Structure 1
């Protein structure tokens, strides 16, 4: 039997529909002020650096030198088996030091796994900053005491946490700003986009610092994003984007300081992209020669953050050869203490497995704890019997 069909022309005419033309569409926010400048902001060699507080410049320099020595010492510790892994931030020290020094005592820092220098500059014990990378228990320090969230190994998961804390602080009326650090690879994660969207909608007092060091392990930025810059991503969420030379410590401190104060005034979040470079490999387990050439690295070494700031300080008469030597000597003393303490075998308590998991231990945890205690006691008894 032939199947009947109804053509479009045979459909019954719909009731007359004459929609009212919509009003002319206008963006809710003028995007122009949100867009980053075409070139990264630089301060060194300009009036901005000349007007900067000399004490701040010297503090930045001291922390940069100490941070560089920390990186080399921690990398050496991996070769000695004292650390499981270490993601060096050599070449990126200006981003991390400036991030730490721009914070007030009540503010919070949300680092990624590469940001050990930032947490040490914030005041954390240098050994505690390496605890996670050593494979010891938990994160190695009390986040609430230091106002430093755990060093985050999963990419970008710390960003929604930063937004949540900042939003909660705003609801409570606390004068707190959260500064969240992430690498260029982390901007490809969903957590990055979710965090920026929530932060902008809630006008949360949070600042996002993207350390664009050129690579997500071996993947160059060109294969991660087609955006003109990572700072341009900000306009899509309704927040301003700033672009800064990540090897210019004064510029990074200035831009982050402005973003922090904007957040503190209740004007919402800012996305800052610091253009820098990862001179060392991704970690000690990575062979960077497989995906980049030595000439590229050498070009960035010529734009070294320590040498740039050192030149500014000596030019202005704020630093001389004696001062340079004193700062280097203090960094060596720090490295010696770090080496000595890391070479000591840690005193590990297996019962720490059950500490700081829940405020009140669950029945399952109590059962597991009792089982482990019994096994340890039995093992100790067998050892004593063997000695007899």
Structure 2
């Protein structure tokens, strides 16, 4: 959003227009826009208001009911922390007794909102002027939060009285492409990590795909999933990491939160260090059940940990499907009952499904180059039943496992 549009939107006329718009829908947007133009409304203001209405609709998934009173940019919404995840961040700072958190690269203010809701004072710093203005609007109901337009890395933490830091480096280029090299974050990973020399209570977001080799030995790295989707990874240090160095997975589903860490036998050993390679689980023949570990569990390298809890093994080396003969409920993996399995061939799979009158098929895959949509077209199914097939490797061979969700 450019400065001109933002100024118009924040003026009384713009704020009134935004509050009067109905819930956004693509079908109604053109009709509403035309009607407002016919009434003599400023076209720039109309465009800005409808853009905000559309972004607010998209933001409900991250901010719930709060989205209706917030302002967004597309890029800011993309990188913003979900409020449910931000609440877990904030709890770390509250439990550590933080008295002033510097939120460096605060974006639209999602984490600052969660901290403020727990009564933790926040100094939210944002380098982009327009984004800082939007964060000020979004934090207007939280008197303990202050927004400052500045370069976060020039902040004198000691002079400000900061005793804890949260950093969310930009991980996209100006053109919107994702940045995978931690050295190319803005600011770079090493620059943020250096802050813990002055403020040991440091937390920061990183890309979920960060290689373990980039994780400092004193970090607690936690991957977070929400309703099955991996949404972030965070590094926590000092009093913000009571678990100590290592890796964990936080699985959020509805109102439930579950944390998985390494077993006690491994924790605190080189194998349980944050930068250690993931442990391997034993390979087993396909049993009565197939388990699909949560994405956060896989990213955190804890598949072997779940396998131990389930008395299961992996179906093949480096494939994150587990199998066993016992059904054990767990929040860290989805369970399927195995109905059949055989070596993959298009002809055999097509015949197998047609014999069972299957017309709708869910295709899951790991460790295979087969493209599900292409395979679905090639199967050309017309039956009335439904089935789930898993394409993976069994004993080193491309195979099919037919399953049903438990």
* Same fold (TM > 0.5): no
**Band the TM-score falls in, shorter-chain normalisation:** under 0.3
Looking at both structures, which has the greater relative contact order when contacts are Cα pairs under 8 Å and sequence separation is at least 6? 1
Taking structure 1 as the reference length, the TM-score comes to 0.23
Higher helix fraction (1 or 2)? 1
Taking structure 2 as the reference length, the TM-score comes to 0.23
Higher strand fraction (1 or 2)? 2
